[in-house]
């Protein structure tokens, strides 16, 4: 019914979708699986019309379609329910469902609200729930908003509806109800595409699965004919037989620099405890949304915690703030360089020395000579490729920007380094350099915490890894146990 043939899509530098071919049958729930960055989001955006494909054909009911926009897709009968629910918070349910459609507009351009409300109500009624469609959707709970988003997706006799991580924000009861609705839609002849990270859901509801890896199609199978372990293996391209890697040369000492006891924040992360020793690299990983980033931020006082305690360098910190963290020699390298890391319009030198100018200054006056010397030293030490110290930081490549951020904390002589996704968007060569720097930090007696969703990165850099699932600690693996297959199994909740 929906046939995809040789679909390709490239972004500068990456081939996001590479020659993908498969078919979705009428009335089935089809799970589309892939590891982070496998290209599944790009693919469904092509199907829904949000992106335009570079090559290949999409055939819907024997008609070759080339969509120009999501609105166009909707008219053809392809709807999408986004993870971040693309509703307008201040409009009511009925207005949201039919947003952008001209159906209820009369010749004068006025909207026939009564007819629209009736239609909206009948759409919602088939879900078997009551929703007040006259109040702004921001006043509704997430699960109800989602139903409105679904109603929007099927509002024009939908043939295909795409769900992007629909259960991410739902509790179990709500998720079950959603599955019921999805099943009902499928029984009515609508084809559903489900994107999810949770394999248990796949087995609960999907009829067939398609696996993708690195932008390529891997396999399409009936759910009954594939096991969870097989899926993880196929998703990540790692098989049981992969050799045991050589463990990192650990320089861990017994001096505890960080200790977290039962820290929690809402449902984002719960009861997480760990210690970080001088000379070691601890990795925290998990699927997207597992809470690892938030824990890192909590350690630097950027995110709050509700419960639990954080001990830095033997001081129990009552109220964590960035200032307190810096005082306790914590360095924070954000996953978002542009927002939390660098002054993009400032010069390389000013960025590198930012943490130290206060200490070097005499009576408030800058020590400009020392700044130059130290900045130059850092540029040489970390091999930062710049045209000059006055070059604006924003004009550098991602890898060099990351090095500048590292440099400023090295200058500060921080002892606890927290790195979030330290090599996201960085080319492979620089990536390796940064991994080397991370190992070097530990050898030089710092404690390093690496938060990354990239398994290879964790394996390359860490002595020990903590794996989170849904905000809870799922397991801890030592350096020797850090095998890709094993980690992935834990990450996906198989083990």
* Distance of closest approach, residue 368 Cβ to other proteins, in angstroms: 7
Q: What does each C-alpha distance from 234 to 165, 212, 238, 279, 474 come to in angstroms?
A: 20, 8, 7, 36, 22
Contacts of 291 (CB under 8 A, 6+ apart): 268, 269, 272, 468, 470, 471
Q: Please pick, from the candidates 355, 401, 402, 453, the single residue that binds other proteins as defined by CB under 8 A.
A: 355
Give whichever of 133 and 342 is closer to other proteins, judged by the CB atom.
342
- Residue of 453, 450, 445, 475 whose CA lies nearest to 463: 450
| Minimum CB distance to other proteins, residue 84 (Å) | 22
Q: Considering the complex, state which of residue 254 and residue 323 has its C-beta at the smaller distance from other proteins.
A: 323
Q: Which is nearer to other proteins, 412 or 484 (CB)?
A: 412
CA distances from 110 to 94, 101, 102, 277, 284 (A): 15, 12, 10, 67, 55
d(CA 469, CA 452): 14
Task: Give me the least distance between CB of 259 and other proteins, in Å please.
Answer: 21
Residue of 96, 137, 140, 88 whose CA lies nearest to 119: 96
Judge whether 449 and 325 are in contact, CB under 8 Å: no
By beta-carbon proximity to other proteins, the closer residue of 208 and 349 is 349
CB of 14 to other proteins, least distance (A): 27
Q: How far is the CB of 263 from other proteins (least distance, A)?
A: 19
Q: Which is nearer to other proteins, 189 or 358 (CB)?
A: 358
Smaller CB separation from other proteins, 153 or 302: 302
Residue closer to other proteins (CB basis): 115 or 345: 345
| Residues contacting other proteins: total by CB under 8 A | 31
- Strands, sheet with 315-317, edge to edge from the N-terminal-most edge strand: 269-277, 256-265, 307-312, 315-317
Q: Which of 37, 56, 308, 346 binds other proteins (CB under 8 A)?
A: 346
Residues 254-313 that bind other proteins (CB under 8 A): 300, 302
Interface residue with other proteins among 67, 124, 342, 477 (CB under 8 A) is 342
Query: Which residue's entry shows tokens 């398609």?
Result: 210
Residue (203 or 360) nearer to other proteins, CB: 360
Q: State the minimum distance, in angstroms, from the CB of residue 289 to other proteins.
A: 22
- Measured from the CB atom, the residue of 104 and 409 that comes closer to other proteins is 409
Minimum distance between the CB of residue 351 and other proteins, rounded to whole angstroms? 8
What does the alpha-carbon distance between residue 147 and residue 207 come to, in Å, rounded to a whole number?
22
Window 310-339: residues binding other proteins (CB under 8 A): 318-319, 321-323, 326-327, 332, 334, 339
Q: Sort residue 371 into left (φ over 0), alpha (ψ -120 to 50) or beta.
A: alpha
- A 10 A CB-CB count for 234 gives 20
345 touches other proteins (CB under 8 A): yes
Nearest distance from C-beta of residue 416 to other proteins, angstroms: 13
Q: How far is the CB of 212 from other proteins (least distance, A)?
A: 35
386-425: contacts with other proteins (CB under 8 A): 408, 412
CB of 355 vs other proteins, minimal distance in Å: 5
Which among 236-244, 354-362, 444-452, 460-468 is the span making contact with other proteins, rule CB under 8 A?
354-362
List the interface residues with other proteins, window 357-386 (CB under 8 A): 357-358, 361, 364-366, 368
In terms of phi and psi (left: phi > 0; alpha: psi -120 to 50; beta: otherwise), the region of 186 is alpha
Whose Cβ is closer to other proteins: residue 29's or residue 302's? Answer: 302
Residues at the site binding other proteins, with contacts judged by CB under 8 A: 300, 302, 318-319, 321-323, 326-327, 332, 334, 339-346, 350, 354-355, 357-358, 361, 364-366, 368, 408, 412
């Amino acid at each position: 019914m929906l046939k995809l043939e040789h679909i390709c899509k490239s972004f500068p530098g990456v081939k996001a979708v590479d020659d993908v071919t498969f078919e979705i049958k009428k009335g089935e729930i089809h799970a589309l699986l892939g590891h982070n960055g496998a290209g599944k989001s790009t693919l469904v955006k092509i199907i829904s019309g949000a992106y335009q494909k570079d090559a290949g054909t999409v055939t819907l009911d024997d008609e070759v379609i080339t969509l120009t926009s999501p609105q166009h897709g909707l008219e053809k009968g392809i709807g999408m329910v986004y993870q971040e629910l693309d509703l307008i918070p201040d409009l009511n349910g009925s207005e949201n469902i039919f947003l952008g459609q001209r159906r209820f507009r009369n010749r004068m351009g006025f909207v026939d609200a009564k007819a629209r409300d009736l239609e909206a109500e009948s759409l919602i009624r088939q879900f078997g729930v009551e929703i007040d469609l006259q109040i702004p959707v921001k006043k509704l709970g997430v699960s109800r908003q989602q139903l409105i988003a679904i109603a929007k997706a099927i509002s024009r006799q939908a043939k295909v509806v795409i769900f992007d991580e629909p259960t991410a924000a739902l509790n179990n009861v709500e998720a079950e109800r959603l599955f019921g609705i999805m099943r009902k839609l499928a029984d009515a002849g609508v084809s559903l595409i489900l994107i999810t990270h949770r394999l248990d859901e796949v087995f609960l509801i999907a009829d067939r699965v398609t696996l993708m890896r690195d932008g390529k199609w891997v396999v399409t199978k009936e759910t009954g004919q594939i096991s969870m372990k097989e899926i993880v293996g196929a998703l990540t391209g790692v098989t049981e037989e992969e050799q045991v890697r050589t463990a990192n040369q650990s320089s861990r000492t017994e001096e505890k620099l960080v200790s977290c006891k039962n820290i929690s924040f809402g449902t984002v992360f719960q009861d997480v405890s760990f210690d970080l020793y001088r000379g070691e690299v601890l990795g925290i990983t998990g699927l997207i949304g597992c809470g690892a980033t938030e824990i890192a931020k909590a350690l630097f006082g950027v995110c709050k915690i509700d419960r639990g305690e954080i001990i830095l360098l033997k001081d129990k910190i009552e109220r964590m703030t960035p200032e307190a963290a810096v005082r306790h020699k914590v360095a924070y390298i954000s996953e978002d360089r542009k927002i939390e890391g660098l002054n993009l319009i400032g010069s390389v030198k000013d960025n590198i020395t930012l943490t130290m100018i206060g200490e070097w200054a005499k009576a408030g006056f800058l020590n400009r000579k020392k700044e130059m010397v130290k900045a130059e030293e850092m540029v040489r030490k970390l091999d930062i490729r710049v045209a000059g110290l006055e070059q604006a930081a924003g004009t550098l490549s991602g890898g060099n920007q990351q090095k500048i951020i590292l440099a400023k904390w090295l200058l500060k002589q921080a002892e606890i380094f927290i790195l979030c996704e330290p090599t996201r968007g960085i080319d492979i060569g620089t990536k390796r350099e940064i991994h080397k720097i991370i190992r070097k930090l530990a050898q030089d007696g710092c404690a390093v915490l690496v938060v990354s969703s990239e398994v290879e990165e964790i394996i390359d850099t860490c002595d020990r890894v903590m794996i989170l699932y849904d905000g809870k600690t799922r397991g801890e693996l030592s350096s020797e146990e850090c095998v890709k297959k094993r980690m992935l199994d834990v990450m996906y909740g198989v083990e």
